[in-house]
Structure formats: structure tokens, C-alpha cells
Amino acid sequence: MIKKDYWTWWQGGIGLGLVSVFAFVTYKGLGASTSYPRAVALLLKPFFPDFVANNAYFQKVPPVIDWQMMLIFGAIIGGFLASRIMGISFRNEPKPTTQRKWQLFIGGFLILFGARLADGCTSGHVITGFTQLSVGSMIFGAMVFLIGIPAARYFTRKGLY
Amino acid sequence: MNILLLGLVTGVGFGYVLQRAGVSDCACLFNALNLRNTKAIKLMATAVAVGIFILYPFVALGGLSLGAKNLNVLSLVIGGAIFGVGFALSGLCPGTALAALGAGKKDVLYLIAGGLVGSFVYALVYEPLKPILIDPLSFGKVTLPDLLNLPPLLVGYVFALVILAVVLLLDRRDQKADAQDPTAHQI
């Protein structure tokens, strides 16, 4: 049973804007996707220390717990708190179909591969980069929607949702 | 305060807002990309405008530097396109997935697993890709005020007002679509 409704776009927008301001003032702009390869480096390090030490990308994104990795843990806690306050639960949700599982796995693969190539995702480029007025982030944002909108149309026609 | 603790506090606020506003629900993103209900787009644009309105006076006074992202044209165009397809396929992004996980949506683990594999594959191909997709056409940290050679405060405020105008247009469009079919407005 839902106790509280979702925030509207402007409530959420002001909330996210204030979190972004807090991040900029106390340390640096919001970001999330760098932590995925960092987590991979942290997971691989105990088993393949030489591989991690010699990989050019893991030299750029070394296996250490940093500010953004803590932000990731915080985001999970924040999501939990919000769902509790709202009284929503996904416990009785039907198990995902095999197709849905693959859709999420491949989607996750593409999102992170693309975000790492572009050096940012929806938070790093669209929120932080646009706030910085970074020209590169505007190119990224334009491409995400230029490709994402027809892709969503195509997937809808194919009955994937 | 300790940097790591600050990261944790920022993250709690970040995940809380994403889940509280419902943008961590895949349906919200599908509706936005199908231009059926653009809540997620309006929310992000408002967040950017709020950030600009609050931060740029301090930037103008010289008390704050926001930094900038690198302008590597090829990697941004191709990375953005790949991201767009994944975004449309899953309805989640690296940040909203975490808020959804915290809320108890277990199927998000498949997306996170895919994300970790995607990051690993990227780490494997980074060295050969760098001279092809990252180094050519890269112009360093370029911002709109640099490009226009105008004060950041002016450019920022005009930019924020323009995106807010777009937000209001999108909102009018959403309300019209909603009057015809209210089902997409549940989130």
C-alpha cells in the first residue's frame, strides 16, 4: 500500500538541484558511472593483482574507495529510505521474465560502456556537466535523446515493454 | 568533514530524491523517451536550472569553481549513442539503478551485473580505442561561456531560463496528453 505519492517533476527537480549544489559546494559535481569500473577493479584486484596494476584504464580509475564510491552506497541507502517513507514495497512483484533479465543485462552493458567512453552518464554529464555549461556534456545529452527516443519507439513497436 | 562521509551524505540525498520522485522506476524513463510523459526530462532540466541559479553568483564573485568536462567529440557522440540505446532498452541509468536497488527492486541486479561487465570490457579495449575515439577531435575543458567569450553568470542565467521555458512547454504538452489518456501519469 502506498502511503505517500511520488514527488512531482518540480519537487524532484528542486530536490535534485539542491543535492547537486551541495555536492558542488562541498566537493565536486554529482557523478555515478566511474564507480562501476572502480568496483570491477576492486573485485579483480585480490585475484588478478598484476592485471589490474597493468591495465591502462584501471591505472586511470584505480581500485580505491573514493568520494563517488561512497556516494553510490549512499544512493542505495537513500533509495531504501524513500521507499520506506512512501510505504512502497516490491516484495510481491512477479519474477522478471528471461527476456526482461536479458534486456536489463544488455541495457546495463551498453549504458556503462557508453558512459565510460563518454566519461559520464546522466548524473555526470546531464546534471553536473550541464550545470558547468560544459559543451561536451551538451553533445552527450543531445546524442542520448537523439538516439534514445527513436530506440524507445522501436522497442515499443517490438513489444519489449 | 571527512570527504568519504560527505560522499555518503550526498549519496543518501541523491538516492532519496531519485526514488521519492519516482524517476528510478523504468516506466518513468520509458514514458519520457516515448515523449508520452516527460517527467524525467523536466526534473533533470529543473535540477540544472536550480543549480545554475544558486551557483553562478558565487562563480561570478570568484569564490567557486565548477570545473568542466572534456570536449572529446568522437567519444561523446558514440558514447552518448550507445548510452541512449541502453537507456531505452532498460529504462534505468547508473544512478537511478542504485536508488531502485535500495528500494528493493531486485531485477536491477541484472542491470548492475551488465554494467560491471560493460565496464570490464571497456577497460580491456580502452588502450586501443584511445588513439581512435578519444584523442582525435579533443579540445579540452570547453564551456559555453568560453566558446561565446561572455561572462558565465550571464550565459548561465540565460541558459537556465531557456531550459525552464522548454520545461514549461513540455509540461503543457504532458497535460494535454494526460487529458486524453491519464494512465501514463501514475508515476
pLDDT digits (tens, 9 = 90+) for B33-69: 988 899 999 999 999 999 999 999 999 998 899 999 9
Phi/psi at A8 (5° precision) = -75, 175
Among all chains, which residue has been given the C-alpha cell 552506497? A73
A31 close to A118: Cβ distance less than 8 angstroms: no
- Find chain A residues with C-beta within 8 A of B34's C-beta: 149, 152-153, 156
In a domain, B96, yes or no: yes
Tell me which of B185 and B56 has the higher pLDDT.
B56
Beta bridge partners of B184: none
Note whether residue B43 is domain-resident.
yes
CA dist B25 to A159, B28, B74, B95, B118, Å? Answer: 19, 6, 31, 12, 22
**Mean pLDDT within B153-174:** 97
- Our CA-based measurement puts residue B152 at a distance from the nearest CA of chain A, in whole angstroms, of 9
Give the residue among B148, B124, B87 at the shortest CA–CA distance from A33.
Answer: B87
Q: Which of B19, B78, B108 to mutate to test the interface with A (most CBs of A within 10 A)?
A: B19
Within this chain, do residues B97 and B175 fall inside the same structural domain, yes or no? no
Shared domain check, B187 and B161: yes
Q: Residues B79, B120: one domain?
A: yes
How confident is the model at residue B45, as a pLDDT? 97
B179 lies in some domain: yes
Categorize the per-residue pLDDT at B26 as very low, low, confident or very high, splitting at 50, 70 and 90: confident
A124·B69 Cβ contact <8 A: yes
Indicate if B94 and B164 belong to the same structural domain.
no
pLDDT at B186 over 70: no
Best B76, B92, B106 member to test A by mutation, with max A CBs in 10 Å, is B76
B135 and B157 within one domain: no
The neighbour count for residue A5, using CB atoms within 10 Å, is: 11
Taking 80 as the threshold, does the pLDDT of residue B181 lie above it?
Answer: no
The number of distinct structural domains making up chain B is 2
Least confident interval from A5-9, A43-47, B66-70, B177-181: B177-181
Mean pLDDT of B164-170: 97
β pairing state of B138-141 and B70-72: antiparallel
| Statement: residue A92 has pLDDT above 90 | no
Q: Which of B43, B141, B144 sits opposite A13 (nearest CB)?
A: B43
Instruction: Give the list of residues 6+ apart from residue A53 with CB closer than 8 angstroms, or none.
Output: A59
- Chain A neighbors of B187, CB-CB under 8 A: 6
Whether B65 and B59 have beta carbons less than 8 Å apart is answered as yes
**pLDDT at residue A28 above 70?**
yes
Q: What percent of chain B has pLDDT over 90?
A: 85
- Residue (of B96, B73, B108, B126) closest to B24 by Cα position: B96
d(CA B84, CA A143): 7
Question: Any CB–CB contact under 8 A between A88 and chain B?
Answer: yes
Residue B138: closest C-alpha in chain A: A136
Provide the domain limits for residue B101: 1-25+69-140
